[in-house]
Amino acid sequence: MRIVLHIWRQAKAAAPGRMVRYEVPDVNTHMSFLEMLDILNEDLIAKGEDPVAFDHDCREGICGMCGCMVNGVAHGPLPGTTLCQLHMRHFKDGDELYLEPWRARAFPVVKDLVVDRSAFDRLIAAGGFISVSTGSAPDGNAVLVPKENADRSMDAAACIGCGACVAMCPNASASLFMGAKLAHLGLLPQGQPERERRVLAMEAQANRELFGSCTNIGECEAVCPKGIKLEVIALMNRDFLRANWVGRGGLKGD
Amino acid sequence: MIEERYGNLFEMYERITGEDPYQSPMRIFPAIHYTMGGLWVDYNLMSNIPGLYVIGEANFSDHGANRLGASALMQGLADGYFVLPNTINDYIASAKAEKIDTGHAAMKEAEAQVNCVTKRLLEAKGTRSVDSFHRELGKLMWEYCGMSRTAEGLKHALSQIPEMREQFWRDVKVPGTGEELNQSLEKAGRVGDFFELAELMCLDALERNESCGGHFREEYQTPDGEAARNDDQFSYVAAWEFRGVGNPPELHHEPLEFEYVHPAQRSYK
């Protein structure tokens, strides 16, 4: 089938960008979206043109590298799916698709569809971790975790940090991402000692990165390829309030 | 139960095939998914370059015959969490950390080498894309150094790779410059290295005249098709020393000694 693409082309961060029209005449329905872009790029290279830059790595939906806006929706029209896992069978002959990079102040465009998401790395470095003593393995049953908590923590840990939530949010808020990390660690016993410090540090970093605030719109949840729920933001807000109460004064515990 | 344990796998399958694995039987076939092996390290996980520690699956790996899912996680944790914190301290405590800057001779040499390779790739201005070479090499490896190999096939691959490499450096087409983000250039650098890696994998597979672990040589199998080991001759780690492009690498044998549990014939029966 034939697909018409309008792709945002931008040589570098400081250069102006524009939409450029391309046609991919022979798209196989079994191709993934990225494979279609590969075909386009092979064609552009053969013609001596600059191929479209786009991020990708594992191509099985677990690394979080890929993603762009497809007709205004992060990762395209299929819910719960990264761009690499979106296959062309979901489109039809003659479809016109508009591809743009993630749009957010905190994610500057590097080139074409590639954006710099190192703001997420700095959020993690600010608080998205637990401090542990390494060296010897703790006994498997020494720390008890209720099954329900383990499951909820695991669900939050499914976040791959792709940035779709930020891209889709009208406020460019990183709340779903931060909430996922805070819920992942905060629901487990190992996450308790640094619980207050973690949420305060991540919130402060998010402000420095110029991510917006959450106004409970829910676009993030709608496009999240890993099904992270809005409840993680509620959990984050609760942690934030609590940390302001107990954390800043150096008090420990509730 | 199945959904809880394998939900994400089933979902992945559904996305790729467009078939619902909860309803229709899954189509499964064996495939190579991983390049086993890696950089040589000692028991402290230090490579042959003093101070350069290699952990996780970048080193020559802990997995056995099959490298299953989550092996990367296992080795990353084992090396990073349990081993390295007990070994790297010794190096840090005893090494003299002299102040070095980008004016250092080794830095100049590395920079000159990278610039030279980059220039060569950009100036080849050939007719074939990086991807076309990557695919050609991948197909050759899949065919002759895949799940089962023969001496004949490996020799064939070893005769093809130098030709392919020569063609790559002469005929590759890398658009753009080295001044901005250039994904074709990045890929070209990596595919350029893959020729050496591919050659080494074939050589190592040819050298090992037995079937063992992830390495199944068709000539060495039991009458009922199981892997026929030859521990008398091949119970060693093959550590290959790079001697420069085009030069044969040197094989260092590291004998494997089993005191309590001895390797045995694998059988799925």
Q: Which residues of B fall within a CB distance of 8 Å from A114?
A: 181
Average pLDDT of the segment spanning B192-203: 95
> Cα torsion for B17, B18, B19, B22, to the nearest 10°?
100
Q: Return the beta strands (E) in B122-173 as ranges.
A: 148-149
Regarding an ipTM greater than 0.85, the answer is yes
Question: What count of residues does chain A have?
Answer: 254
Enumerate the residues of chain B whose CB falls inside 8 A of the CB of residue A81.
15
For B258-263, which contacts have Cβ atoms below 8 Å and span 24 or more sequence positions? B263/B229, B263/B231, B263/B235
Output the CA–CA distances (angstroms, integers) from residue B34 to A112, B209, B234, in the order listed: 31, 22, 22
For B116-166, write each residue's pLDDT tens digit.
999 999 999 999 999 999 999 999 999 999 989 999 999 999 999 999 999
Q: What is the pLDDT of residue A247?
A: 60
The string of pLDDT tens digits covering residues B158-176 is 999 999 999 999 999 999 9
Do A111 and B18 lie within an 8 Å CB cutoff? no
Residues of chain A with pLDDT under 50: 250-254
**How far apart are alpha carbons A236 and A181 in whole angstroms?**
9
Cross-chain Cβ contact B129/A46 below 8 Å:
yes
Q: Are B252 and B240 in contact (CB under 8 A)?
A: yes
Res A81: pLDDT: 95
pLDDT at B111 over 50: yes
Task: Provide the percentage of residues in chain B whose pLDDT is more than 70.
Answer: 99
Q: Which residues pair with A32 in a beta bridge?
A: A87
Q: Count Cβ atoms within 10 A of the Cβ of residue B4 and give its class: 0-12 exposed, 13-18 middle, 19 or more buried.
A: exposed
Whether A53 and B175 lie within 8 Å, measured CB to CB: no
| Nearest CA-CA distance, residue A235 and chain B, Å | 24
Tokens 């550590």 sit on residue: B239
B6 neighbors B14 (Cβ within 8 angstroms): no
A60 chain-B contacts, CB cut-off 8 A: 12
Is residue A134 less than 8 Å (CB to CB) from chain B? yes
Is B18 in contact with A137 (Cβ distance < 8 A)? no
* Chain B residues within an 8 Å CB radius of A80: 11
CA distance B138 to B146: 10
Restricting to B residues 4-43, those with a Cβ less than 8 Å away from any Cβ of A are: 8, 11-12, 15-16, 18
CB A2 within 8 A of CB A21: no
pLDDT over 90 at B64, yes or no: no
- Asked if B129 lies within 8 A of A89 by C-beta distance, the reply is no
Do the chains contact at B181 and A53, CB–CB below 8 Å? yes
pLDDT of residue B2: 83
CA atoms of A98 and B15, how far apart (whole Å): 22
CA nearest neighbour of A132 among B190, B81, B93: B81
Interface residue A58 vs chain B (CB under 8 A):
no
Quick check: A123 and A133 in contact, CB under 8 A?
Answer: no
